[in-house]
C-alpha cells in the first residue's frame, strides 16, 4: 500500500483521539468547572472524571472551593468621636456556589475586597476610639456579618476578618501615651497609698494587740494577787479560829478558868496603874481584895479609860499584848 494512503487515516485517527481527549475533563479536589454550551450555562462539574462535548461545551470558569485569604489594603476611617484612623486587615472567605461566583459578579475577589473596606469604614463610624482597641473581636464579627449579608448573591461566604493594625494620628498617639502615663502614675500612687494605709492598719493592730495583752497580763496579775491575799486572809482566819478553838478548849477546864482569872487580874492591875498615872486620887471599893471583884473592877476601869482616852487605850492594849 502506498504510504501516502496511510497518512490520511492516521491523521483522522489522531484527530478523533484529540477530540475525545478534549471531551474528558479531570476536575481536581476542591475545585469546580463551570460548563457552557453554546455560550449558555449548562452544568457545574465537580471533582473527579467528567465528560463534555467537544466544540459544543467549553469550560467557562475554574473556581476554587478552598478557603482563600485576601489582604485588605490600608484605608482611612473616622470613628464616632471624629478621630481619623488607618486600618488594614486580612479577609478569609470561600466560594460556596460556583455558579453565583461566576455569573453573579464579574470579579468576586475584587468585589469582596471592596465590600470589606466599605464595611470597615461603616463599622468604625459606629464606635469610639477606645472601643476600637478594646472590642476588636466584636468589630471583626460585625464586619463578617455585614459582608455575608451583602455577598449572598455572589455565592461567597466570609469565614472571618482579622484587623492587623489600627493606626491613629500622631497627635492622638501622643495624647494616648500621656493618658497611659497618667494612668500608670495614678495606679502607682494608689498602690503606694494602699501600702501606707495597710502599714498604718498593721501598726494600729499591733498597738491594739499590745494594749490587749498588757491589760490581760495586768488582769491576770490582779487576779493572782487577789487570790494570794484571799488565801492569806483565809490562812490568818484559820489560824485565829484554831487559836480560839484551843483557847476555848483550854478555858473549859479548871486550870483554864484560873489562867483566865489571873490574866484578867493582871490586866486590871495594869489598868489601875494607868489611872494612877493620870490622876493623883484612886478610890478602891471595900471588897477590892476579892479576886473576882478586882477583875470586874479592872475591866470596868479599862472600858472607861478606853472611852475617855482612845490613844491610851491603844497603847495599853499594845503593852498588854
Evaluate if residue 193 carries a pLDDT over 70: yes
CATH number for the domain harbouring residue 104: 3.30.479.30
Q: What is the mean pLDDT of residues 269-295?
A: 60
Q: Would residue 48 count as lying in a domain?
A: yes
Q: 124, 132 in Cβ contact below 8 A?
A: yes
Residues 96 and 161 in one domain: yes
* Least confident window among 67-76, 216-225, 238-247: 238-247
CA distances from 214 to 163, 205, 209, 210 (A): 67, 14, 8, 6
> What confidence score (pLDDT) does residue 69 get?
92
Residues 17 and 105 in one domain: no
Q: Would residue 232 count as lying in a domain?
A: no
Q: How many domains does the chain have?
A: 3
Q: Would residue 182 count as lying in a domain?
A: no
Of 64, 94, 115, the residue at which a domain comes to its end is: 64
Q: What is the mean pLDDT of residues 46-57?
A: 86
Tens digits of per-residue pLDDT, 107-153? Answer: 889 999 999 998 888 888 888 887 887 788 888 888 899 889 888 89
> What confidence score (pLDDT) does residue 312 get?
42
Residues 58 and 80 in one domain: no
Q: Would residue 197 count as lying in a domain?
A: no
Evaluate if residue 320 carries a pLDDT over 60: no
- Whose CA is closest to 112, among 62, 50, 174, 154? 154
> What confidence score (pLDDT) does residue 315 get?
41
Q: Is the pTM of this model over 0.75?
A: no
Residue-number span of the structural domain to which 24 is assigned: 3-64
> What confidence score (pLDDT) does residue 311 get?
45
Of 134, 168, 202, the residue at which a domain comes to its end is: 168
Residues 46 and 119 in one domain: no
Amino acid at each position: 500500500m502506498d504510504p501516502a494512503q496511510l497518512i490520511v487515516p492516521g491523521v483522522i485517527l489522531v484527530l478523533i483521539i484529540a477530540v475525545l481527549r478534549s471531551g474528558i475533563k479531570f476536575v481536581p479536589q476542591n475545585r469546580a468547572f463551570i460548563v457552557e454550551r453554546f455560550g449558555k450555562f449548562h452544568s457545574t462539574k465537580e471533582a473527579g472524571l467528567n465528560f463534555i462535548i467537544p466544540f459544543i461545551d467549553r469550560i467557562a470558569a475554574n473556581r476554587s472551593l478552598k478557603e482563600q485569604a485576601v489582604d485588605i489594603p490600608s484605608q482611612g476611617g473616622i470613628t464616632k468621636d471624629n478621630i481619623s484612623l488607618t486600618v488594614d486587615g486580612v479577609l478569609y472567605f470561600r466560594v460556596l456556589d460556583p455558579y453565583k461566583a461566576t455569573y453573579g459578579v464579574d470579579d468576586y475577589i475584587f468585589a469582596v475586597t471592596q465590600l470589606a473596606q466599605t464595611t470597615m469604614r461603616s463599622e468604625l463610624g459606629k464606635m469610639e476610639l477606645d472601643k476600637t482597641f478594646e472590642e476588636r473581636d466584636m468589630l471583626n464579627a460585625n464586619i463578617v456579618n455585614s459582608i455575608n449579608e451583602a455577598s449572598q448573591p455572589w455565592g461567597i461566604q466570609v469565614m472571618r476578618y482579622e484587623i492587623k493594625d489600627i493606626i491613629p494620628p500622631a497627635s492622638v498617639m501622643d495624647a494616648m501615651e500621656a493618658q497611659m502615663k497618667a494612668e500608670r502614675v495614678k495606679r502607682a500612687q494608689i498602690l503606694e497609698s494602699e501600702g501606707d494605709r495597710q502599714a498604718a492598719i498593721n501598726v494600729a493592730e499591733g498597738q491594739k494587740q499590745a494594749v490587749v495583752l498588757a491589760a490581760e497580763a495586768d488582769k491576770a496579775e490582779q487576779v493572782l494577787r487577789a487570790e494570794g491575799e484571799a488565801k492569806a486572809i483565809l490562812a490568818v482566819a484559820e489560824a485565829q479560829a484554831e487559836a480560839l478553838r484551843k483557847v476555848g478548849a483550854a478555858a473549859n477546864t479548871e486550870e483554864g478558868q484560873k489562867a483566865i482569872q489571873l490574866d484578867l487580874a493582871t490586866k486590871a492591875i495594869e489598868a489601875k496603874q494607868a489611872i494612877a498615872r493620870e490622876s493623883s486620887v484612886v478610890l478602891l471599893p471595900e471588897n477590892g481584895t476579892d479576886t473576882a471583884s478586882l477583875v470586874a473592877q479592872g475591866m470596868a476601869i479599862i472600858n472607861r479609860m478606853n472611852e475617855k482616852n482612845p490613844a491610851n487605850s491603844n497603847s495599853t492594849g499594845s503593852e498588854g499584848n
